[in-house]
Amino acid sequence: MRYVRGIVRPLVLFACTALLAAGGCVAPPIAFHDGLPAWTPGPGKPEASIGYQRLYWYNSGKYQGSTWYLTPGVRCGLARPPLAVDVGLTSAVLENDWQFAALVGAAMGVGYQSRNASVIVRPGAYFMSIIPESGVQWGFDDLFWQVSVLAGNGVQTSKTHVSAGGRIGKLGMGPVLLVDHSVGPVNCRLEASYMFPRTHDTEGRLMTLGFTIGGPAPQSEDESGLGD
């Protein structure tokens, strides 16, 4: 597995192999799902989540292959509404022929949330990679970064929340749609994205569908601090 750009290239080549990319010279326009909607937990409240995401790569109008990755993560709310702030750790774990590779990084969200509307900007960067043939690699000079901007309806328990917007990353950019609904103590989320290339090293289109479970889910008492 060759190195071209710090920790980014090994994981991209790993994903290319999983997606049956010929020669490992061209990558799909990857930007990873994080399973995080346009709202944040209450101040001091943590949330853990894990998601299953499926990638479908198309190039020159032809289907090239698919693979999957997991997205374990954790975040904690830091602000009282209407200000929305959270920070946490995010990761993407890929599999190919029962070998695993992973990216681990940090993400934060800053925005606004009320009973009527929510909007958030969520930058993140992956600073560590774990590659089967190379072990753990740290990379701060050439981070694999991405930024999501999502807007949605009001944050209220027992109601479905819809987040829509866009995501741009080191290799791809495109629209994102996320729908979440709390079921008892967990929050269930469906996420879809369609990515276009933004570098010379990427080609084609990448559709990703995923399902994430997060918890503990927001409770009715959390709404007392929401602005109108």
Residue type, 175: P
Inter-residue contact 149 to 169 (CB < 8 Å): no
Residue with tokens 């993407």: 92
Give the mean pLDDT per block of 10 residues along the chain (228 residues): 42 58 63 94 94 91 87 95 95 82 92 93 91 75 88 81 95 96 93 93 91 88 61
Inter-residue contact 126 to 104 (CB < 8 Å): yes
Distance between terminal CA atoms of the chain?
Answer: 53
Model pTM score = 0.86
pLDDT value of residue 60:
87
pLDDT value of residue 4:
34
Paired strand residues for 166: 149, 175
pLDDT value of residue 23:
42
* All domains of the chain in start order, with CATH: 8-221 (2.40.160)
pLDDT value of residue 138:
79
Give the list of residues 6+ apart from residue 114 with CB closer than 8 angstroms, or none. Answer: 81, 82, 154, 155, 226, 227, 228
